[in-house]
Chain A
Amino acid sequence: LAKTTQPISMDSYEGQEVNITCSHNNIATNDYITWYQQFPSQGPRFIIQGYKTKVTNEVASLFIPADRKSSTLSLPRVSLSDTAVYYCLVGTGNRDDKIIFGKGTRLHILP
């Protein structure tokens, strides 16, 4: 299983674009990169998943360089409600591949 490294915490201001980078140097060929968001006392919620280059949905963008050893979650124009913990996960999701959550990045949006 590829281990991931993220910043422990980040602060930003409302209206800004926030980029959270995740390192996964040992990512395997079949691994996908998935990001989740968690609010206090709630279960995590899926944000976005990608394999290479760029993926965009209505919530965020995910940038993955050619070597796939890192990835960046980009949140455009954040609001106070984006204050949460963000987890980067790497894995195949196959039957024998456990899904491992690290400590995540605690994002605090300031007014």
Chain B
Amino acid sequence: DGGITQSPKYLFRKEGQNVTLSCEQNLNHDAMYWYRQDPGQGLRLIYYSQIVNDFQKGDIAEGYSVSREKKESFPLTVTSAQKNPTAFYLCASTGLAGSEQYFGPGTRLTVT
């Protein structure tokens, strides 16, 4: 069964703590993406990676960090520097250029 998995589905953290969200894909896709979605809003791009060991900032990268050590994995760390981390986080991947994006089920992060 090919697809993208994100874990956990719900995550709760105290303010000031770093937290890492997992994203794994077995689709053999080169490109992976992280988006943030706030209630009633569209998706905003945080980081993306077109190839292993390389990634670029999206529109709202401040307070986030990523790594791409393996083709299958693209974890996102929400640092304490992110002022409003509570949101729905979505991971996606694409294969060939111009092809559709496949999305994971998302992680809903709540920071109090």
Q: Is the CB of A100 within 8 A of B45?
A: yes
Residue of B nearest to A85 (CB): B42
Which of A41, A93, A104 is B42 in contact with, Cβ under 8 Å? Answer: A104
B interface size (C-beta, 8 A): 27
- Of A14-22, A44-52, A73-81, the one touching chain B: A44-52
Q: Is A13 an interface residue (CB 8 A)?
A: no
Q: Is the CB of A98 within 8 A of B106?
A: no
Q: Is the CB of B97 within 8 A of A95?
A: yes
Q: Chain B 16-35 against A: per-residue CB contact (8 Å), 1 yes, 0 no? A: 00000000000000010101
Q: Is A103 an interface residue (CB 8 A)?
A: yes
Q: Is B99 an interface residue (CB 8 A)?
A: yes
- Contact A94-B103, Cβ < 8 Å, known A100-B45, A104-B42: no
Shortest Cβ gap from B92 to chain A (Å): 7
Neighbouring B residues of A45 by C-beta, 8 Å: 103
Q: Is the CB of A92 within 8 A of B98?
A: yes
- Contact A87-B42, Cβ < 8 Å, known A41-B106, A45-B103, A95-B97: yes
Chain A interface helix/strand/loop/mixed: loop
Q: Is B81 an interface residue (CB 8 A)?
A: no
Which of A43, A49, A93 is B90 in contact with, Cβ under 8 Å? Answer: A43
Neighbouring A residues of B45 by C-beta, 8 Å: 98-101
What is the interface of chain B, defined by CB distance below 8 A to chain A? Answer: 31, 33, 35, 41-45, 48, 50, 58-59, 88, 90, 92, 94, 97-106, 108
What is the interface of chain A, defined by CB distance below 8 A to chain B? Answer: 32, 34, 36, 41-46, 49, 87, 92-96, 98-104
23 interchain pairs, CB-CB under 8 A:
A32-B98, A36-B101, A41-B88, A41-B108, A42-B105, A43-B103, A43-B105, A43-B106, A44-B43, A46-B100, A46-B101, A46-B102, A92-B97, A93-B94, A93-B99, A95-B31, A98-B59, A99-B33, A101-B43, A101-B44, A103-B41, A103-B42, A104-B42
